[in-house]
Structure formats: C-alpha cells, structure tokens
Amino acid sequence: MKVSLLRCDSYEYAMEQLRSSLKSFSHLFTPGDSVLVKPNMLSARRPEEAVTTHPAILKAVLIFLKDLKCHAMVADSPASGSFQRVAEKTGIKDVCEEMNVPIFELDQPITVAGQIYKKINLDRRIFEVDKIINVAKLKTHSQMILTLAVKNTFGCVPGLEKSGWHMRCGTNENFAAFLVDLHRLVNPTLNIVDGVVGMEGNGPANGKTKRFGVIALSTNGFVLDFVLCKRLNVDPLLIYTVRESLLRNLIVEHDVEGDWTGQIQLPITTPVLPVPEALRMLARRLARSPRISKTKCVRCKICEERCPAKAINIDQMKINYEKCIKCYVCHEVCPQGAISLVRRIF
C-alpha cells in the first residue's frame, strides 16, 4: 500500500504536477471505464475560500481520465444550497463544461448494508459505475476534527438524509463508525486530498484558509487519512474516523512517498485527549454548544432546516439545548458564519 505526498505550493502548478503523479496510478483504469469523480462540493463558496475541491485539481483528474480514454462524470450532494449554484460558484461547473464531462447531483437513493449500519441509502450511480475517484479537501471539521478522504464520501448520501444520520448516530463515535461503513461501501479506486490550500481552525466552512502545500494520493482512503494525521503532527486517535479505522484494523502496512510535513490548528471542539468510554457522557456535557449571532444572522433558516434534532427556532433566535446533539451541522451550513461554538455553564 502506497501513499504519495506531492509538494505543491500553488494551484498554478498543481495541474502539471498532479498529472505527472497520477501516471503511476494509470494501471488502475481501463479504456472505456465509467469513472465517477466525487469532489468536495460542500456549499456555494468560491475556490479561494478553500471550502471545496479546487477546480484546478479536478481538471487534472479529468484530463488524466480523458488521456486514458475513460468516461468521466462529476457528482456530489452538497450539504447546503442548490446543486446548480454550488457547481457554479465553486468553479466546478466551468471545468466540467470545458472538459465536456457530465455533472449531476447524487439524488437517487438505493438501500445498501454496511458492516455496522445495515440500512444506508446511497446514490445508485455509486454502484453502477466501474470506478470512483474521491477528491477531498484537507480541512478541519468541528465534529470529526479533520475531514479528509474518508469523510468526503459522506456526500454520496443524497440530500437531507445527511442531516438525519447525525440524529440516528447520536454520538461522534457512532457517526465515525457510520462514515467508515460508508467509505467501505463507496470503495473509491483512488483517493486524492487537495491540501494545496486547505482550512484550519473551525472548519469545514468557517475556519481560516491555510496553504499546506500538499496533494496526497492513495488507493486506500483509511491509510491516506492516517498518514496525513501523522505528517500534520496530529494524534490519529483524536480524529474520530481515523480512530474508528484503527479499531477496525483498517490501517494496513504502507509506504509513504514524499517528505512533506505540515502544521494545523485544530478546532476548538477538539478533546484534549481521546476520551475513555467511561467519561463519554461527561465529555459530551462539556462539549461546546452552538450560539447564533443576532447581528450576523440574515434569517435564511438553512440551519433550522438542516438541524437533525429540530433544536433551532430562527423566528425566536433560540436553540433548544435539551434537544441539541452537538453535531455542529448548523455551524457547517450557515453561509454567514453566524453560528459560533461556545462553552456553556450547565
């Protein structure tokens, strides 16, 4: 198992550099293969905001597939906003038009069984194509702490069902178990993490952009995420999805190609130490809670609509903390950065 860490400081050079690196993965694809490329299209944000996969990275992947005579397509299901608007604002639609590649929303669920969760609705196209390339963004994540290759496949769950999973799972540990199930079902042939410019602090949508200067590639998303944690000097046990992968023995032996290392400021929601089972309830009580800024809020009600616990009432500008499960979806989807995460005295 190999993980390649490609140093790359600018999107201006990313395309050429990535194209030459991708050549070592050509043997995975056969002419005529249908290949679904799954970028991070979280919400309608500009490429320089580093919330979504940069179009230059996507373009390099599409050129690679075209050279191999594969039939590429681009698809995702955004966490908020209309698919069309997200595709336009992120620059992803322009790249697809330029490359003459179809782009569509993942909105046609079929039910499949995971290892732990036995009924998961995923878009049927995931199982109809020959191969999948997962193109994630290197970012922090207020709930999972980091979002890398494994978390990116959450976008294969159609529409509002994504919010429902937060409620169904209830805890960060269960949600990570679900994400690991999901990534195994999607089973990408190749995973790429765009870390040329990513996000630190309170990601995945409202943190600070940061130039990490790396593009990471591997056929194994679990190993890729583990290696990125190590190279970012982050304890893998702090990252819920990586911890779950370790518990399931999914981090197989691997070689790392490339000497890149980096630093990242984690979200304020990061536990100081991995929390032992006995202290989970207390840790949950002490975890930060969302708070709405009345001055920043434009009352679009996206958070209210997406809150899986139905804990938000924007007309009254209130969050019901008895109902709130601290999934931070509201913080993730708010387009105004109007939801902060604060420690409450209880």
Q: Beta strand pairing status for 34-39 and 71-76?
A: parallel
**Burial profile 11-43: b = 16 or more Cβ within 10 angstroms, e = fewer:** beebbebbeebbeebeeebeeebebbbbbbbbb
C-beta of 274: minimal distance to ligand SF4 in Å?
A: 21
- Nearest 5°: CA angle at 241, between 200 and 55? 50
Residue length, the chain? Answer: 346
Q: Are the CB atoms for 244 and 114 separated by under 8 Å?
A: no
**Based on CB atoms, which residue is closest to ligand SF4, 27 or 294?**
294
In DSSP terms, 39 is beta-bridged to 135
C-beta of 165: minimal distance to ligand SF4 in Å?
A: 12
C-beta of 43: minimal distance to ligand SF4 in Å?
A: 11
**Based on CB atoms, which residue is closest to ligand SF4, 24 or 82?**
82
For the record, the structure tokens of 285 come out as 């009580």
C-beta of 307: minimal distance to ligand SF4 in Å?
A: 3
Nearest to 182 by CA among 204, 149, 205, 160: 149
Distance CA(339)–CA(341), nearest Å, equals 7
Residues lying near ligand SF4 in the complex (CB under 6 A): 290, 292, 297-303, 307-309, 311-312, 314, 319, 324-330, 334, 336, 338-339
**Based on CB atoms, which residue is closest to ligand SF4, 169 or 185?**
169
C-beta of 262: minimal distance to ligand SF4 in Å?
A: 29
Q: What is the DSSP letter of 244?
A: H
Q: Are the CB atoms for 234 and 265 separated by under 8 Å?
A: no
C-beta of 206: minimal distance to ligand SF4 in Å?
A: 10
Peptide bond into 204 cis (omega under 30): yes
C-beta of 290: minimal distance to ligand SF4 in Å?
A: 4
Handedness of CA 241, 246, 248, 254 (dihedral sign): positive
Q: Are the CB atoms for 292 and 317 separated by under 8 Å?
A: yes
